[in-house]
Each structure stands twice: as structure tokens, then as C-alpha cells.
Structure 1
Amino acid sequence: MLKACIYPGTFDPITNGHVDVIKRASKLFDKVIVAVAKNDNKKPMFELNRRIEMVKIATKNIQNLEVTPFFGLLVDFAKSQGITTTIRGLRAVSDFEYELQIGYANATLWSDFETIYLMPSLENAFISSSIVRSVLSHNGDVSKLVPNEILPFLKSENVYSI
């Protein structure tokens, strides 16, 4: 097994696709750090501490996992953790182009930094946080898109009532 990796994202909210990628990474690495980005540019639906809490609840059964916030550049965070590998999820070809650009940018900032791309299972390949937020904004049923454990959080935030 490899030592450790970082799986960064806004996780706004965490989805079944995210959990799928986290489980896959946890089988490949001794330790997975899920780094929840502050990223105000994306105008998240959920506050940072709430997103961290949802990720912790959704992944509580994965033993070799740490959930932490991060701010700024991913490579700077990775250096502070002594980790040279990041995991990124790819759902479709459109994800690949964007993720490839980010991977090259990170490698330019730190030549030792590697990006590994993992695909979610087919049943989760279409799920994204933006789709979940869109369904939530129309009071739709997201119970098949997000971990059941976070449904109470969505209800307590008054974004989900089914």
C-alpha cells in the first residue's frame, strides 16, 4: 500500500460518489485525508464546519481516514502534511479535461506532487454536488444521491423536506 493521499473538494454536500471514491482510496492508501476546501468563490450552500461535519458522519466507518479543512493552494496544504499524492474523482470526459489542467498546474507548482484519478462506480458516475444542490433547490428527493447519514443535516438546514 501507498502511504497517504489527500482527497480535496468542497463537498457541498458530500455525495455517494464522493464516498465511493473515498472508499476506493482507503483501499489503496494507509491514510486518506479528506481536505474540505473553504472556497468561497463557489458560494457553497453549506458553511465549512457543517460540510466537515457531514463528511465525518458519512465516512465514520472508514478507519484510515482524517477529515480536515484547508485554505489556499492544495500543494501548500499537501506540503504542510508531508503528502505528495492527491486523489481526484472522474465521472465523465468533461471532468477529465478540467482535472487534467488542475493536475498539471499542481505539478508545475510542486514537481513532486502526483495526481491519481479514480472513477466512481457506474451507479454513482452521474452524481455531483451541483446536481444535488439543484435537486435540493427544487425540494426534490436526494435520498439516492447522498449518504443516508447526512439527510438529517439537510433537513436541519431547511434545504430538504422529503
Structure 2
Amino acid sequence: MEIKALYAGSFDPLTLGHLDIIERAANIFDQLVIGVVVNLEKKTMFTFEERMEMIAEATADIPNVKVDMCDGLLADFVNKNRFNVVVRGLRGTGDFDLEQQMAQLHKHLYNEKTETVFLMADAKHAFVSSTMAKQVISLGGPGEDLVPPCVLKRMKGRLNK
């Protein structure tokens, strides 16, 4: 049986921590879909289209990864696309509490055969968040250890305008 997994998030911007989870999940599952969440109420640095493009560029060398739009209720997207697994990345215990509650809610909303799988962040990325990356780079700090090169280039271009 082919195992199809979803890794969903806003990815504003995609960080090296996200990319690490993507690479590791792609090694575990047959197919991995990166679901870029559309949240019209959230102010983002990058448009939905820009985030899709950056993720596609950063994952271009991973053959079993595809990028898709995830709008509406995550459970509806999971059920419609028949995902076997939803992947969530954890940086630490603070993330676990919220993610555990979300996993329990989603289990209630998904079909019963869909499981949530948690992958712990690699220690070298455990401190990285999209918010922190935006702050550091916007203040002129180094971003090479925070975001992929294609993202850093766009961030610097956006911030230099």
C-alpha cells in the first residue's frame, strides 16, 4: 500500500526547520504533499503564490514531494485527498501540547484511518521559527542558517524595497 502524507502550514516563510521535516518525511512516506494553508485573516510577508513558488523551488530535487493549496478546513482537505498520514514538526515540548490537542481534534474530524505523525526538529533547527527568521533577517542579521537560499534571496529583495 502506498502511504500518502500531508505536511501543512503557512510557511511564511519556509525555514530550514520546515525543509528538514520535509526531507525526512519524504524519506519515510511514498508521497508527501506540502499543503500551503490559505488564511485570509493572517497578514503574511509573502503571498500565497510566492510561498508556493519558494517551496517548489526548495524541494525541486525531492521527487516524491508535491506542493498544493490547502484552503478551508484541514480535515476536509485530508479526507478529500485521502491522506494516510498528517505530518507535524515539533521543536520542543511547547509545540507538543498544542499539536497533541490538534491531532486529537483532527482524528475526530478525519476518517479514522488517518494518523498524525510527529517528527522532532533536528537540534540545529529547533530554535528556528518563521517569525524569528523574519525578525532576524529584517534587522540585517544573517539568514543562511534560518531559511533556504531561494527564500533568503526573496526576503532580502522584499526588505530592500
Q: TM-score range by the shorter chain?
A: over 0.9
TM superposition shift of 1:151: 2.1
| Structure 2 residue identity aligned to 1:74 | L
Cα deviation, residue 142, structure 1 = 1.3
Q: Is the 8 A contact 1:139 1:160 kept in 2?
A: no
1:117 corresponds to which residue? 118
User: What is the correspondence of 1:33-52 to structure 2 with a 5 Å cutoff?
Assistant: 33-52=33-52
1:112 Cα deviation after fit:
2.9
Q: Tell me the SS of whatever aligns to 2:30.
A: strand
Q: Deviations over 1:8-52 (max 9, x none)?
A: 000000000001000110111010000000123332111100001
Displacement of 1:160: 5.8
SS in 1 for 2:144: coil
Query: What residue in structure 2 maps to residue 134 of structure 1?
Result: 135
3-state DSSP class of the match of 1:104? Answer: helix
List structure 1 runs of 4+ shifted beyond 4 angstroms: none
Aligned-pair RMSD on alpha carbons? 1.7
Normalising by structure 2, report the TM-score.
0.92
Q: State the alpha-carbon separation in 1 of the partners of residues 5 and 95 from structure 2.
A: 20
Is this contact kept in 1: 2:3–2:84, CA < 8 A? no
TM-score with structure 1 setting the length: 0.92
Aligned length: 160
For residues 42-95 of structure 1, the C-alpha deviation after alignment (integer angstroms, 9 at most, x for no partner) is: 321111000011101111111100001110111111111111310000001100
